[in-house]
Structure 1
Amino acid sequence: MTTDEPDHQPRGASAAFRQDLGGEWQLAPSVSEAWRFRRLHAETGQEVGAFARTAWIPARVPGSVHADLLRAGLIRDPNEGLASLEAEWVSARQWVYRRTFRVELPASARLHLCFGGSDYGGDVFLNGALLGTLAGPHTPVRFDISGLDRGAEHLLAVLLREPPPEAGQLGRTSETRTLKPRYGYWWDFATRLIHIGLWQDVILEADAGTAVLDLFARADLDADLRRATVRVDVDLGGDTTVPVTVSLIHPDGRQDETRTTTRSATFELQDPEVWWPAGLGAQPLYRVRASVPGGASIERCLGIRTARLVHNAASLERGARPYTLEINGKALYARGFNMVPVDMIPGRDGVAERERALAEYALAAHANLLRFNGVAPIASDTMLDACDELGLLVWQEMPLTSSGTDNVPPTSPEFLANLDRDLPALVRRLRNHPSVVLLGAGNELTDERRRPADEAHPTIRRIQDHITALDGTRPFLPTSPSGPEYDLSVDAATGRPEDLHDVHGPWHYRGAHDSYRPHVLSRALAHSEFGCQAASRETTLRRYLTDGSPWPMDDTNPQVVHHGEWWLMRHRITEVFGPVDDLGTYVLLTQAAQGDVLRHALGWNRSRRDECSLALIWQLGEPWPNAHNTSLIDYDLKPKLAYYRCREANAPVALHLGLPGPVGKGHLTAAPQVLADTTGSGELTLTLHSLTGMTLQHETRSMIWPAAGQPLNVTLPEEPALLRAELLGEDGVLLARAEHWVARDQPQPFAALVGMPRTRLTLEQRGSRLVVRNAGVHVAPWVSLESPSDVLEDFSDSGFNLLPGEEHEVGVTLRGPEVGVLAVPLTVRALNATPLDLLWETP
């Protein structure tokens, strides 16, 4: 018997009643029903004959077919060169997973075979007999196998059918059939690699007649944060009259316990430990456990906090939705990133570690909100756990997304049936995580005229109804952008500024004018997605563009096109910097341009904090090594220079110079402003330096904040110049720093930087800090640091500029298997300096 019961997850289940059937399995492909003809589901051996015997492939469960084929050497790594094209056949097959097992659990009244989810669906056979059908990738399924012989060995086989024929990025949302995430069907940040696999847990569970299937714990917190009521609802399967023991485990290990026959329990807390977002307080986590006699327990986390969207004065005045997140009664300015998966192959080794690393990079860049876009799967348990622990708020959209041709939510009976089947399990997976504070129906959903859709659309309303019924504790947005304007464009900003509520874009680098102007003009209440592209690190490019040279980085190079055809920018770099003929220089210039645009956008949004509630960069990481992409951290987890500029702009105290852009007609008008989370005062120094380091302009002014910036005229010399701003507190301590390259508005305004005479850098390790010195007579632009590909790096700064004779200390933190055992080579380069290596000894 098959029952699609509430979210059955083995996390926290009692080991005595649970047997993990994950680990080593066998895998074989099948064209149509060749598996049935060969009886792969029913027989463990095949006789020699005219038909070749099946060559079984070692497999891992949970896992992915692509990962198993890669480990077996049967496909090239799809990350390399054009190899993903060679792997597209994988999703055009059915796949048979199988293993044998014996029941190792004690005798019990019932036994269930439980699947956490399969991608995409399939049939389950036990000892050759059809047991039942698996649903989509999100939906857990339980099979009652209570009569199974406890003394025999059993053959378990799972037949996964071909994935459904969904569209890639340029298709029709209205024709979407399923909730299978569509990024693998080809997207601007991902190749076409349609995932298939038994990618969630497979377990046996024994019980005495009743099973705890799930629990939902939520806290009602008083406005003064001094009292909380924790309510726990328990989902049971079987005899629901059995008493349930519910335990509340405090962060310090203390435990409250109650027994109930009503499937619900309540705990009253005085002076609870309140969960806060990063930067506002600590992240204490309670645990809630439910158990019944003779069965496995289920445990979930609980963070005691409130979350809602509230109006600011601007959204209220415009009649817009509220966009300001309020946590525990405190409104915050939300800043952070849009998130996509860390890998196209969920079963690849090290995915969980990469997810944790990316969350830590987000935190280090002062993020407090991450948006998980509807083009991808919902955030993994690993990522959600990390966000709970680190205080990163999560905006999670359901896996429904735009398509380009149309973005209209589907209404077909087939889609709605899949929605009703699959969505509840997604909501159950999310609802116990305190980090999840905002839910959405999907990404960039619109009507036929490309106006953002809302709750009046029946499919969006249906999604909202599911979320309300199963959760109802979090604010909901129908989609993002939520309109009435879709894009941040110059036309909208100048003609319809009051209609800029929640907007997306722009995303492309368009030179020294058009990349900057929309952000200056913007009156958006929420800027939930915008970006700018750059090339990956040179070492990353050489590691993955293996079917020839990575140069030239334009559409004459098939590899460069294959790894990011939407994001080519060599023509734009030529427009701004003049001709560039080598890969290293090109990479550095693209990353410098990306960083400058994104810092500019973040600064202008944050300077309108009373009007704009949030600003989220598209995107933090990438699931596949792109040649060009809008990611801030490339596939090898190497931060681009833009990561450091975004960290600078989002810091608790940041400088926004209020520049309209990097070029002007003889002068630029700045309006320096301190962007800070708290009030303060200090002294601001601005200096303008020539390419030889000569001081061309020097200004000092007292600053208080918050306060609007006051105009300051910057006279532009004939050649590009470095504008540097430094903010000192009342105690003389450096609070913030910002550097901008500026130039006269002319063709190729920054070409002189590329043609600068060479300078020379020197390196010295002083404990945990690296001292970089410019020993030449010309400025060293964009000094950048890099560690080897297998080392996670955290530098206090990168992409800075050094005047002649100047030195800069950079904090260095490295993590990796050889860090602390062997010296790690660090590479330091600048636009006009030969790269230098230094062997870094862990202090």
Structure 2
Amino acid sequence: MTHGPEEREEGHAGSHGQHWDLGGRWDLAPSVSEAWRFRRLHSERDQSVGAFARTAWISARVPGSVHLDLIEAGVLKDPNFALNSFEAEWVSARQWVYRRALEVDAPEGGRLTLCFDGVDFEADVYLDGQLLGGVAGTHTPARFDVSFLDRRAPHLLAVVLHEPPPEHGQLGRTSETRTLKPRYGYWWDFATRLVHVGLWRDVRLEWDEGAAITDVNPRVTLTDDFTHATVDVEVDVHGDPDVVVTAELRHPNGTTERVAGRDLRFEIPEPALWWPHDLGDQPLYEVTAFVSGARPVTKRFGVRRVRLVHNEASRERGARPYTLEVNGVSVYARGYNIVPTDLIPGRRGVPAKERALAELVRFSHANLLRFNGVGYAASNAWLDACDELGVMVWQEMPLSSSGTDNVPPPLKMFEAQVRRDVPPLVRHVRSHPCVVLFGAGNELTDEHRRPADESNETIALICTLISNTDGTRPFLPTSPSGPSYEMHPEARPEDLHDIHGGWHYRGVHDSYEMHARNRALVHSEFGCQAPSRSATLRKYLTHPWPMTDANPEVVHHGEWWLMAHRVEEVFGEVGDLDTYVHVGQAAQGDVLRHALTWNRSRQEECSAALVWQLGEPWPNAHNTSVVDYDLKPKLAYYRCKEANAPVAIHLGMTAPVGEESVTLRPRLLGAEGELTFEVFDLSGAKRQEGTVDGDLTVHLLDTPVLLRLRHEDRLAEQWLARDRPHPFAALVTAPGTTLEVTRQGDRLTVRNTGGTVAPYVMIEATGDGPERFSDNGFHLLPGEARAVESSPAASVRLRAFNASWVTSPWEAE
């Protein structure tokens, strides 16, 4: 957890030893190569006046990030804005010196240990000018015995960060990767180049009487009938190996029990089982381990069993088992891929933002998040939220594909890093019940672009280390795990096991037809781009229009995802930013709903469907996220929510266009029941209606028609048009209509008060911070109203393709 200086405790004393939190305010200075050594910044507190300018220190925050400290000191402009990130690239070409005074009011005798929970990415630690040793790895701790410290004197603690390793960006060579530093900051399609450096995890000083607990692992074993659990508490002790360890178990109902000795075991009859949110509750247990004279360590955990099992299709194809099974119940996994929340992990508010994103995940009925190997391991904020909200986590190691080759680094060049950094990363996540699956990395292949497996010696070692450190969760060597890498027209169904793609909006045929043909057992990554909200674009870009490659800022904020040419192919010429954002987000939403429901309709063979991606770490002009940088859900978020709902309607179409008609095969997902349909023209006149019985043929007009499928209170809507240039242009140029909104508590009522259909009604909260509505991006017939729940209750504005913005008459609360 990251704190400001005013939020941190400087020390804590109790019956179990003492510890001092060394977070808060430090001093920070850059160094070109080892200029710091020449200037003795690691050993001398003051510099005399002379020919060499004295070092100008700035205030830093630990845990934190060098970039953020420079921004807050006024040295850097915030790289989120316009082209500012270009001016920040020098930061990773420096070494950085953190230092602070250290005074310890500790008892004489005993043992003092200086503890680091990880750095980004490598540093040397000095105390009064003497090298204590090195620390490296984002999640790899280091401990230094400093019992020799004079308890009555002030000391100088200095941490010198090396330049970050020279890893490749997205268009490089995985085979030349030499560290497990997350590579997303070296430039990726969803982020600019901003190579993070910082003393980004906790630093503390501990006093004990000769033994200390460094880790606790509650290893849970369940009987086959799930009526009895055994919890073996594995405790890592630093120091006296014969010290007596006591463990206390706190049950979800608050009762506690204790055991002591070498074998720390608890038997739990009729345990409270942890479930994904769509299957049950999320009770959490807590175990605390104690040794005399040292601080206790607590871990929270859940009781559950998770496996990968075969469905009939995976068994028939000779594939791996891909269906997640939790407590004996097979789960259809639906959710998102996750990338880091911010390019600057230490930015204030990131933990709260991650909690808000996790709540958006659950609200959209998703149950699995894939923490992609391009980024960091899931943070404590993410893990705690997913434990509590019942959202499962697939955690990959920080190893990822590249554009030139995706081949894992040769073991002889990589083994030391893997052995050092994989076990602590696994220890970081393993007590969390939400973590259900491990992977060696993202999109790893052989030299022929075939997905790699455990026959690769680097992947085999990662698998072994994960098994030795955890051993309770299934493992996949990479995703996609093949044998085909991605969906393509020539792929045979028997080769479509775990696949990726597509990602781009390619109009009304290619964006849709691939998903109707898909036969994958797992579709673990697919997406479609859209622009961010217009208010977000205006906040971060000085010139957000036009949204083409003629605009340098638009290119800089997402050069892989430009879509104006595709938007105009489908919707005709668009002349302003708000309309462009609106139609782009509508297109993304329609494609993702289409892909999700096609995958879900194949549950007898498909085990999971994960959208690329939930959020973004940097404000993009165009991106495949469904929630933009400012926590503003795009319209696609609501189509994902619709497709993943317990009961959803699958349209069963190949594409939203046809010659004289479009034939669909709609069906209800998650329930049995009757579907009815209605078809309306742009004036709101009804052209067809009836009950769905097998194939449904919708007759097309010269202008698009609106198909509505209904089951009880569930509604799915889709515009259909004749296959011609600019097939949906008439939705943008339709005669204007007007909207009004009223509110009663958290409920909004949105009404079309004009005389034509209002396509794609878009509602936005006008203030900052997270927002969510029960629905968005729907269509209103003339005179029709729709009730929408709003959280939090806020001032809103809304528009449709053919209706100008209208702002609510009330103020935000």
Same fold, judged at TM 0.5 (above) = yes
How far has the Cα of 1:414 moved from its partner? Answer: 3.5
Q: Give, in whole Å, the separation in 1 of the partners of 2:601 and 2:138.
A: 43
Question: Which residue of 586, 595, 604 corresponds with 2:598?
Answer: 604
Show the counterpart of 1:762.
740
How far has the Cα of 1:350 moved from its partner? Answer: 0.3
Q: Give, in whole Å, the separation in 2 of the partners of 1:774 and 1:401.
A: 48
Question: Which residue of 618, 623, 626 corresponds with 2:617?
Answer: 623
Does the CA-based 8 Å contact 2:17-2:293 persist in structure 1? no
Amino acid at match of 1:832: N
Show the counterpart of 1:5.
none
Q: Give, in whole Å, the separation in 1 of the partners of 2:229 and 2:486.
A: 42
> Is 115-124 or 529-538 further displaced after alignment?
115-124
Amino acid at match of 2:446: D
Question: How do 1:26-425 residues align onto structure 2 when only pairs under 5 Å count?
Answer: 26-260=27-261, 262=262, 264-425=263-424
Amino acid at match of 1:499: D
How far has the Cα of 1:828 moved from its partner? Answer: 0.9
> Is 415-424 or 103-112 further displaced after alignment?
103-112
Show the counterpart of 2:535.
539
Show the counterpart of 1:694.
685
**Alignment of 1:516 onto 2:486:** no
Amino acid at match of 1:830: A
Amino acid at match of 1:657: L
Cα distance per residue 1:260-308 (max 9 Å; x no partner): 1x2x311111111110011111100000111100001111111000000
Amino acid at match of 2:153: A
Q: Give, in whole Å, the separation in 1 of the partners of 2:602 and 2:20.
A: 55
Show the counterpart of 1:705.
none
Q: Give, in whole Å, the separation in 1 of the partners of 2:597 and 2:69.
A: 45
Q: Give, in whole Å, the separation in 1 of the partners of 2:789 and 2:746.
A: 6
How far has the Cα of 1:430 moved from its partner? Answer: 1.4
Amino acid at match of 2:696: L
How far has the Cα of 1:150 moved from its partner? Answer: 0.8
Does the CA-based 8 Å contact 1:588-1:831 persist in structure 2? yes
Does the CA-based 8 Å contact 2:767-2:795 persist in structure 1? no
Does the CA-based 8 Å contact 2:12-2:18 persist in structure 1? no
Does the CA-based 8 Å contact 1:536-1:587 persist in structure 2? yes
Does the CA-based 8 Å contact 1:12-1:298 persist in structure 2? no
How far has the Cα of 1:53 moved from its partner? Answer: 1.2
Amino acid at match of 1:374: G
Show the counterpart of 2:730.
752
Q: Give, in whole Å, the separation in 2 of the partners of 1:691 and 1:537.
A: 26
Q: Give, in whole Å, the separation in 1 of the partners of 2:490 and 2:77.
A: 47
Does the CA-based 8 Å contact 1:338-1:618 persist in structure 2? yes
How far has the Cα of 1:218 moved from its partner? Answer: 1.7
**Alignment of 1:727 onto 2:711:** yes
Q: Give, in whole Å, the separation in 2 of the partners of 1:511 and 1:680.
A: 33
Give 3-state SS (helix, strand or coil) of 2:528's partner. coil
Q: Give, in whole Å, the separation in 2 of the partners of 1:46 and 1:667.
A: 82
Cα distance per residue 1:747-806 (max 9 Å; x no partner): 111111111111111111122211111111111111111113513211111101111111
Does the CA-based 8 Å contact 2:139-2:428 persist in structure 1? no
**Alignment of 1:503 onto 2:473:** no
Question: Which residue of 658, 662, 683 corresponds with 2:656?
Answer: 662
Question: How do 1:775-786 residues align onto structure 2 when only pairs under 5 Å count?
Answer: 775-786=753-764
Q: Give, in whole Å, the separation in 2 of the partners of 1:510 and 1:211.
A: 58
How far has the Cα of 1:659 moved from its partner? Answer: 1.1
Amino acid at match of 1:836: V
Give 3-state SS (helix, strand or coil) of 1:191's partner. coil
How far has the Cα of 1:122 moved from its partner? Answer: 1.2
**Deviating runs (4+, > 3 A) in structure 1?**
10-16, 104-108, 839-843
Question: Which residue of 616, 622, 630 corresponds with 1:636?
Answer: 630
Distance change in 2, residues 1:551/1:781 (3 Å): same
Question: How do 1:549-560 residues align onto structure 2 when only pairs under 5 Å count?
Answer: 549-560=543-554
Give 3-state SS (helix, strand or coil) of 2:490's partner. helix
**Alignment of 1:18 onto 2:19:** yes
Does the CA-based 8 Å contact 2:737-2:755 persist in structure 1? yes
Give 3-state SS (helix, strand or coil) of 1:190's partner. coil
**Alignment of 1:710 onto 2:694:** yes
Does the CA-based 8 Å contact 2:11-2:21 persist in structure 1? no
How far has the Cα of 1:104 moved from its partner? Answer: 3.2
Give 3-state SS (helix, strand or coil) of 1:60's partner. strand
Does the CA-based 8 Å contact 1:13-1:299 persist in structure 2? no
How far has the Cα of 1:16 moved from its partner? Answer: 4.8
Does the CA-based 8 Å contact 1:768-1:842 persist in structure 2? no
How far has the Cα of 1:242 moved from its partner? Answer: 0.9
Query: What stretches of structure 2 of length at least 5 have no aligned partner?
Result: 1-9
Show the counterpart of 2:805.
835
Question: Which residue of 773, 786, 806 corresponds with 2:784?
Answer: 806
Does the CA-based 8 Å contact 2:630-2:770 persist in structure 1? no
Show the counterpart of 1:7.
none
Question: Which residue of 576, 580, 584 corresponds with 2:578?
Answer: 584
**Percent of residue pairs bearing the same amino acid type:** 62
Does the CA-based 8 Å contact 2:411-2:457 persist in structure 1? no
Amino acid at match of 1:835: W
Q: Give, in whole Å, the separation in 2 of the partners of 1:368 and 1:122.
A: 38
Amino acid at match of 1:651: A
Q: Give, in whole Å, the separation in 2 of the partners of 1:250 and 1:597.
A: 45
Show the counterpart of 1:474.
473
Q: Give, in whole Å, the separation in 2 of the partners of 1:586 and 1:47.
A: 60
Q: Give, in whole Å, the separation in 1 of the partners of 2:488 and 2:265.
A: 51
Does the CA-based 8 Å contact 1:13-1:297 persist in structure 2? no
Q: Give, in whole Å, the separation in 2 of the partners of 1:727 and 1:532.
A: 28
Does the CA-based 8 Å contact 1:775-1:805 persist in structure 2? yes
Show the counterpart of 1:6.
none
Q: Give, in whole Å, the separation in 1 of the partners of 2:453 and 2:404.
A: 19
Q: Give, in whole Å, the separation in 1 of the partners of 2:767 and 2:400.
A: 33
Does the CA-based 8 Å contact 1:19-1:104 persist in structure 2? no
Amino acid at match of 1:538: S
How far has the Cα of 1:11 moved from its partner? Answer: 14
Does the CA-based 8 Å contact 1:108-1:206 persist in structure 2? no
Give 3-state SS (helix, strand or coil) of 2:690's partner. strand
How far has the Cα of 1:224 moved from its partner? Answer: 2.1
Does the CA-based 8 Å contact 2:17-2:208 persist in structure 1? no
Q: CA RMSD in A?
A: 1.5
Q: Give, in whole Å, the separation in 2 of the partners of 1:501 and 1:332.
A: 17
Q: Give, in whole Å, the separation in 1 of the partners of 2:456 and 2:439.
A: 14
The TM-score normalised by the length of structure 1 is 0.94
Does the CA-based 8 Å contact 1:88-1:193 persist in structure 2? yes
Show the counterpart of 1:771.
749
Give 3-state SS (helix, strand or coil) of 1:163's partner. coil
Does the CA-based 8 Å contact 2:767-2:812 persist in structure 1? no
Q: Give, in whole Å, the separation in 1 of the partners of 2:715 and 2:672.
A: 16
Give 3-state SS (helix, strand or coil) of 2:289's partner. strand
Does the CA-based 8 Å contact 2:105-2:152 persist in structure 1? no
Q: Give, in whole Å, the separation in 1 of the partners of 2:810 and 2:382.
A: 31
Amino acid at match of 2:685: M
How far has the Cα of 1:443 moved from its partner? Answer: 0.3
Q: Give, in whole Å, the separation in 1 of the partners of 2:454 and 2:489.
A: 28
Q: Give, in whole Å, the separation in 2 of the partners of 1:91 and 1:129.
A: 25
Does the CA-based 8 Å contact 1:13-1:298 persist in structure 2? no
Does the CA-based 8 Å contact 1:84-1:191 persist in structure 2? yes
How far has the Cα of 1:840 moved from its partner? Answer: 4.2
How far has the Cα of 1:839 moved from its partner? Answer: 4.2
**Alignment of 1:491 onto 2:469:** no
Does the CA-based 8 Å contact 2:12-2:19 persist in structure 1? no
How far has the Cα of 1:119 moved from its partner? Answer: 1.1
